[in-house]
Chain A
Amino acid sequence: AQSVTQLDSHVSVSEGTPVLLRCNYSSSYSPSLFWYVQHPNKGLQLLLKYTSAATLVKGINGFEAEFKKSETSFHLTKPSAHMSDAAEYFCVVRDLNTGGFKTIFGAGTRLFVKA
């Protein structure tokens, strides 16, 4: 079965410092992976997705993620945090055992950004 694990429930960084949000996946197929962001009291917005075209994926707002098959990881990074990055982040895998009709969300990582 496919699954996704976000290794940190909370991450706190200072403004201007790098961000690392960790995600590990389990998949018997070549995975379909996504990162979404949810700002307080808002819906979810796609940050980036892994399409197997490139292992380093660039997303919106300066975020990027690197797919590492050997480590079964898809960690999200940003070189310099901004106050507006404070939000909940979800790593998501598409469950191809169900024909791609089901997505599995990680438990989420809350990012705090200190001034």
Chain B
Amino acid sequence: DTAVSQTPKYLVTQMGNDKSIKCEQNLGHDTMYWYKQDSKKFLKIMFSYNNKELIINETVPNRFSPKSPDKAHLNLHINSLELGDSAVYFCASSQVNTGHNNEQFFGPGTRLTVL
């Protein structure tokens, strides 16, 4: 029943490791997003995919590589993790092509801690 799901919910890892976060939406939306929320609760968009195509890449280091195998999934792979990558990562989806007033639906977040 969950509209937007993310796994894992918590991720604790060492600096230098490579990790992935998965996201799935069952709402039939055409657009998916990744956001990073820092310790001060500031939310910033990282990537936006529309129909599996990358639309927005907000000057994110190339250690971050999103992949969208289909419209319902958007995964985030992070190479060579750094301390500054510690944050909560939110996946979201929305239906953009039928109107700009459509809201985004957010996943529960993945709390990444890099030691």
Contacts and interface: CB of A to CB of B under 8 A. Distances in A.
Do A and B interact? yes
B108 A42 contact: yes
Give the size range of B's interface with the partner: 20 to 34
A44 to B, nearest CB: 4
Interface in B28-59: 31, 33, 40-45, 48, 50, 55-56, 58
Given A101-B31, A101-B56, A108-B42, A44 B50 contact: no
B43 A90 contact: yes
Contacts of A101: 31, 48, 50, 55-56, 96
A52 B43 CA distance: 25
B21 to A, nearest CB: 14
Interface residues of A, number: 28
Label chain A's interface by main secondary structure: strand
Interface string B75-115: 00000000000000010100010001101111111000000
- Which one of B43, B48, B55, B106 has the greatest number of beta carbons of chain A within 10 Å? B43
Given A43-B90, A43-B109, A102 B45 contact: yes
Interface of B: 31, 33, 40-45, 48, 50, 55-56, 58, 90, 92, 96, 100-101, 103-109
14 contacts: A32-B101, A36-B106, A38-B41, A42-B108, A42-B109, A43-B90, A44-B43, A44-B106, A46-B103, A90-B43, A100-B96, A101-B48, A102-B56, A104-B45
